[in-house]
Amino acid sequence: MVKIQDIAKATGYSTTTVSKALNNYTDISDKAKNKIIMIAKELGYIPNVHARGLVMKRSFTVGVILDELLGLGLNHPFFSGLIEAFRAAIEERGYSMILISNHIGNTGIGSYLDHCQQQNVDGVFILCTDHNSESIQQLIYSDIPIVLFDIPNKETHSVVSNHFEGAYQATKYLIDLGHHKIAHIYGNTFTYAGTERKQGFEKALLDANIALNEDYLVSGGYFDFKYGKRAMEELLKLEDRPSAVFAAGDIMALGAMQSCYEHEVRIPDDISIIGFDNIKLLDWITPSLTTIAQDTLQLGRECCNVLIDSIEEKKDVAMHKVVATYIVERKSCAPYQQD
């Protein structure tokens, strides 16, 4: 096993300087640090995380809390992709990740804070639907650095997608295809994403001088397949059907597509559908779904950088990052056909 002394001998630097370089101290030159890290990699040096933690009084472990209403956990196609991107990013910065539960062994139900303290994590990445819950609020006001995903909060660090702009872009895309009878299957508006996406849809109609038809606004529940399916069934019953639908989540859009299939409504010949999120599942459906993509790789990196910078630089002023969305054109939308 390669030791710090071996790296010191190979580089000509002292063991103290080598240790500082490997632990990312700032009181040595970039030239020295880069040379030491390069030689360490060439020699196959593997850092002793436990020893590093003792020296720096950190565990080099961050917790991840996933608390979403559908109860899918890591089976949720969007959140699983985001967590994987976050994991890759934190490993590049020398940290590992553990999932945090509010069920602590045989002791029954504890709080997230209890579990975080038990695991001695340096910080926490939180993906949740209700940041006002007592358990999440405990973490926000604790001394553990945290970053919230998709929940702007003045009290702590947060990273969000630009849901408003993405929804505006989705709606304008349909308008540019000639559609003016556009429905919106919206997600629960007590969520930040649901509210922003609904407002983006309405603003795009307003800017295009298209009147908002209240019959074309249908709830898809908490971005749920069955409610997306049910919402589309309501739209298909209308005497004046919409020619296009913007579903505020890909899972809802898939439910809407299933309803169309069952009612022999052709996509995109009879109705165009656009979703939001760009989950991996879209690669395997027919017709393939046009959607607004959340950039999971960039979101994961931003969440990582905000959290690790907070841990290492002890930043007290809350950092807020907004990540742009973009459209992915596939086969589920077509130009409006005159009746």
294-315 per-position pLDDT tens digit:
999 999 999 999 999 999 887 6
Mean pLDDT computed over 213-225: 93
Contact between 302 and 269 (Cβ < 8 Å): no
Domains of the chain: 4-47 (no CATH), 61-160+296-323 (3.40.50.2300), 163-294 (3.40.50.2300)
Write the single-letter amino acid at 99. Answer: L
Residue 267, SS3? coil
Provide the pairing of β-strand 272-277 with 123-128.
Answer: unpaired
Greater model confidence, 106 or 166: 166
Q: Are 328 and 296 in contact (CB under 8 A)?
A: no
Give the CA distances from residue 128 to residues 135, 213, 248, 316, in Å, rounded to whole numbers and listed in that order. Answer: 11, 32, 18, 22
- Give the mean model confidence (pLDDT) for residues 214-222: 93
pLDDT in tens, 92-147: 888 999 988 765 555 555 788 888 888 889 999 999 866 777 888 888 888 899 99
Residue 233 CA: distances (Å) to CA of 206, 237, 242, 265 = 26, 6, 12, 11
Asked if 303 and 159 count as a contact pair (C-beta separation under 8 A), the reply is yes
- Residue 52 pLDDT > 60, yes or no? no
pLDDT tens, 100-113? 876 555 555 578 88
What's the CA gap between 167 and 327, in Å, rounded? 10
pTM of the model: 0.80
Write out pLDDT tens, residues 188-215: 878 889 999 999 999 999 999 999 999 9
Phi, psi angles (nearest 5°) of residue 312: -85, -30
Strand partners, 158: 148, 320
- 183 φ/ψ sector (left φ>0, alpha ψ -120 to 50, else beta): beta
How many other C-beta atoms are found inside a 10 Å radius of the C-beta of residue 118? 13
CB 186 within 8 A of CB 223: no
* 339: Cβ contacts below 8 Å, ≥ 6 apart: none
- Give per-residue pLDDT as tens, 258-280: 999 999 999 999 999 999 999 98
Identity of the amino acid at 250: D
Residues 6+ apart with CB under 8 A from 70: 76, 222, 223, 224
294, 296, 300, 302 alpha-carbon torsion, rounded to 10°: -40
The residues near 192 (Cβ < 8 Å, ≥ 6 apart) are 150, 151, 152, 160, 163
